[in-house]
Amino acid sequence: MRLIGVIDLAGGRAVHARRGVRARYAPVGVAAGCPIDGDPIALARTYVDRLGLAELYAADLDAIAAQPQSQKPGESPDLLPHETLITSLATVAPLWLDAAISSPARSRQALALGATRVVVGLETLESFDVLSAICAALDKTRVSSADPLRGIRPTVAFSLDLRDGVPIAPRLNIPSSQPGDLAARAVDAGVSAVIVLDLARVGEAIGPDVAMVTRVRASAPGTTLIAGGGIRGLADLVRLAEAGCDGALVATALHDGRIGAEDVRGLRHVSKSL
C-alpha cells in the first residue's frame, strides 16, 4: 500500500486544501509537529525525512485554475506558475504532477521539470483523444525509475475528479459520465494509473468513498488505483486496500499526526497481508 504525500501549490505557498473551495485555502502551518509556514520544500522534507514517504504529489492550483488552452502542434506551452518549485520538489522524491496538463507538449514539459508521473485531470480534460495523444507521446519518453508496486514504468495517471461522487468534467463532451465508464476510457487511452479524487471529501476527515473505489476497480481491474479525499487514518487505508486500492493521496492526516511514521512503515506490509 503506497502512501503519497500531497502538496497543493497556490501563489508559491503550500496550502491546506478543504472541500475543493480553492479561494479559502490557507497556508499549511504545521505538519507532523514541524513548522511549515507555507513552505512547499519544508513540507516535502517533512513527508520524506520525518514520516518516511517515498513519493510526492504536487497540484499546481494556479495552473488548474487558469485551465490553459491546448497547444497546436509544434507550439510551445506557456510556463507553469510554479516551475522552479516543481523542479525543487522533484529532487526530494519521485513526483506526481497535476498541473492542468492538457496536451502532449505540456506533458513533456512536466517531465522536463522532473516529474515522474504526469497527472491528467478530468477537470481540465478536453477529450479522450487528447489523453490518448498524451499517453502516446510519453510512451516514447519513459522515465528511468520503475514503478515500485507493479514493476512497470507508468508516466501518465488519470485523475477521476469528483464532487460528492459526481464527475467534474466542464470541458468534456461525452455520452456517459459514469465514473466507472470514465475510468475505463482512460485505461483504453493508455494511462497506467487511475486516481479517484473526491474534492468534497478533501480535508474533511469524513472517510474515503470506498464504494466508489470498489466500482472503479471493477471498471479498471488491471490498472494501478489510487484514492484521495477524506482519509482519516490507518483504518481507512486498510479498507481501501481491501477494496483493491493500491495507494492513497494524503495530506491532512499527515499534517495533524493521525498518520505517523510508524503507520507509514506498517503500510508497506498491508498489501502483503491481504
The mean predicted confidence, pLDDT, of the chain is 88
Note the pLDDT tens digit of each residue in 124-177: 999 999 999 999 998 866 544 444 443 435 489 999 999 999 999 998 887 778
pLDDT at residue 100, rounded to an integer: 93
User: Residue 133's closest CA among 153, 110, 103?
Assistant: 103
Q: Supply the pTM of this predicted model.
A: 0.89
Per DSSP bridges, beta strands 156-163 and 95-98 are: unpaired
Average pLDDT rounded to a whole number, residues 249-253:
96
Note the pLDDT tens digit of each residue in 107-139: 999 999 999 999 999 999 999 999 999 999 988
Note the pLDDT tens digit of each residue in 88-105: 999 999 999 999 999 999
137 in Cβ contact with 104 (< 8 Å)? yes
Can you give the C-alpha Rg of the chain in angstroms?
Answer: 17
Q: Is the pLDDT of residue 73 over 60?
A: no
